[in-house]
Every structure is written in structure tokens, then in C-alpha cells.
Homo-oligomer: A and B are copies of this chain.
């Protein structure tokens, strides 16, 4: 077991603001020299979707999920005050004004900092998401892999 501290975040939420919080904590922990993993499950998987449409074979219900869910971090909605998409524009406006980072920039920074981005294979199955639709460099695993990391973790969060 290494002496490095570890941070393990489960990102369940598909909200822009919650995913921002997850990635800000993760990037902070990596800068703080933690080993960091973000385990994306359910709606959190959308943060890892490529923003273009990828031609893959899907069943009917899986196709419906794919269409209704946001394609990539930039298209996610706010948990509060979404106002049919106006809220995210306000947030992105203030992010720009204050020189803060957008969610896609935070995801890119996480990859540059070697944060382990994991996609939960079981929920990918349920929602009909395929590896071709997710960002390059993502790892694929299940709840056992998460627990193996988290049981020795210092900061474990469910977001």
C-alpha cells in the first residue's frame, strides 16, 4: 500500500453544477498530490460522452436514453434554476467573467493530471452507452473495483 493519500469520488449526478463540484475537488486533490479516481455511474456517465454523435447499434429504449441524455459535459443542465437552459448560460457567463474553468476544461485538466476517470460498466449497459461514445482514456470497471480503491481511501464522496 502506498503512502499517498487517495480521493475517490462517485459521480452519480448528471447536473452541470454537481459535476463541476466533483471535478474541482478532484483537480484540487490531484494538485495536493492525492491519487484521485472519479467513478462515473448513472447520469454522471454523461460527463464522459463525446459531443459528436457516434454511429452505434442500439435497441429502442437505449436509443431513447441516448437522445434524451446530454451528449457531453458542456450540454449538462443545472440542478437548480435551470430555467430551460438559461441557468447554465448564466453560470457559463460568470465562469468566463471570473476566469474560472468550464466543466469541459475541468475534465481536460483532470486527464492532464492523470486522474483516473472510470465508467461504470453495469450502468453503461443499463443506459445503452457504448465505449465508442465515451472520451478516449476512460477506464471501464464495476463496483468491486470502486470498493477496492475506496476501502483504503482518505476522502470518499458520493456526488
Which residues in A have some Cβ–Cβ distance to B below 8 Å? 5, 7, 10, 12, 14, 17-18, 21, 24-25, 28-29, 31-32, 34, 41-43, 59, 61-62, 64-65, 68-69, 79-81, 90-91, 93-95, 97-98, 100, 122, 125-128, 143-144, 146-148, 150-159
Given contacts A12-B18, A126-B98, contact A61 B90 (CB under 8 A): yes
Q: Which residues of B contact A93 (CB under 8 A)?
A: 61
Instruction: Tell me if A's interface is mostly helix, strand, loop or mixed.
Output: helix
Beyond A17-B42, A147-B28, A158-B157, is A94–B126 a contact (Cβ under 8 Å)?
Answer: yes
Number of identical protomers? 3
Additional 15 contacts, C-beta under 8 A, given A94-B126, A98-B125: A7-B147, A7-B151, A10-B25, A24-B122, A25-B147, A32-B147, A32-B151, A34-B147, A59-B97, A61-B90, A61-B97, A65-B90, A94-B125, A94-B128, A150-B154
